Amino acid sequence: MTRFFGILLFTAVCACAGVEEFNGRWNITVKNEPKARAWWLEVTGAGSGKITGKFVGAPGGQLDLIPQIGIEGNELVWIFAKSKRTYRAHIEHGQLVGSLDTGDPATGLTFTGRRAPVLKETDDGKWKPGKPVSLVNGKDMSGWYSRVPGQPVTWFVEDGVMKNGEKAVDIVSSAKFWNFKMRVEFKVADKSNGGIGLRGRYEVQIYGDHGRPPDIHGNGAIYSRIVPAVNATLPQDQWQVFEITLIGRQVTVVLNGKTLVDKKEIEGLTAMAHDPNEDQPGPISLQGDHGPVAFRKIEVTPLTR
């Protein structure tokens, strides 16, 4: 019997007090994460013998079903064997406290997790627009900073348009927002890939996928979480327009006049997330390391009662 089968068998017969506390959704802050990203975990069935989990954080950038998960003593253990990653966590003062073991002490990490808050606000038609905030000034990169501390911003402004350099670090707005509508005018090459992080937590994918079927990683998707209803992407090198509304966790995405996502609930963080504090205002972030993308307008209009 393998060691992990032992974990699963133990879980099935264990009546340990408190293991049910692992159930639920967790927003995870990682110390010294190489790309300064936050993680997300959902656990169901702890204490029942039929535990399952979902994870954003490894081994790739998508939402993954956890292939191996169980309880060992007072620890939750989940494993991605192909990438040689083992995660362990226990609950301490209501928080997850854990570590990642990659087999190499130099790449191991520690983390803490807080329960994802309940956000009750919805897009009920009663929200009023405030004063729009422009995040592209047409002159320079003021108002933006690097998502990864110590890495330079290699984005630039040319002829009034904000562009990313080759493999540019993701950037984050100094301004933070809660509920809002935003208009984004962008240009993307065929098969080029970018993203817009809403509150620094939920990525609206940018992708040059004109003529392809809608996809959970396609243009206008809530990355790896919500599939667009249609593909409204224009051919490459044409200016396109996103109109995005975010209220609580409820999102609407309109691309080039066509509704892709209509008032749908975002379950939790996506891979682009770097701000895990879901109950607080957060910034707008832009992905820059997956190919050329340009923005001539990013305007955010706060919504209030």
Same domain, yes or no: 38 and 172: no
Question: How does DSSP classify residue 18?
Answer: T
Structure tokens at 3: 């060691």
> What's the pLDDT at 291?
86
DSSP for 217-230 reads TSTT-BTTTB--SS
List pLDDT tens digits, range 42-99.
999 999 989 999 999 977 789 999 999 999 999 999 999 988 999 999 999 999 999 9
| Domain assignment of residue 120, yes or no | no
Q: What is the dihedral of CA 168, 170, 172, 178, to 10 degrees?
A: 150
Same domain, yes or no: 280 and 205: yes
Same domain, yes or no: 100 and 135: no
* Domain count of the fold of the chain: 2
Structure tokens at 125: 């038609």
Same domain, yes or no: 97 and 132: no
> What's the pLDDT at 201?
98
Same domain, yes or no: 90 and 148: no
Same domain, yes or no: 222 and 77: no
- Alpha-carbon distance of 100 to 34, in angstroms, equals 13
Per-residue pLDDT at 209 exceeds 80: yes
List pLDDT tens digits, range 111-155.
999 999 999 999 999 999 999 999 999 999 999 999 999 999 999
Residues of the domain holding 234: 128-304
CATH number where 272 lies: 2.60.120.560
For the chain, give the percent of residues with pLDDT over 70.
94
Whether residue 56 contacts residue 40, with contact meaning beta carbons closer than 8 Å, is answered with yes
Same domain, yes or no: 155 and 268: yes
> What's the pLDDT at 13?
35
Q: Exposed (0-12), middle (13-18) or buried (19+): which is 301, by Cβ within 10 Å?
A: middle
Q: Exposed (0-12), middle (13-18) or buried (19+): which is 217, by Cβ within 10 Å?
A: middle
Q: Is 291 left (phi over 0), alpha (psi -120 to 50) or beta?
A: left
Per-residue pLDDT at 4 exceeds 50: no
- Alpha-carbon distance of 248 to 305, in angstroms, equals 13
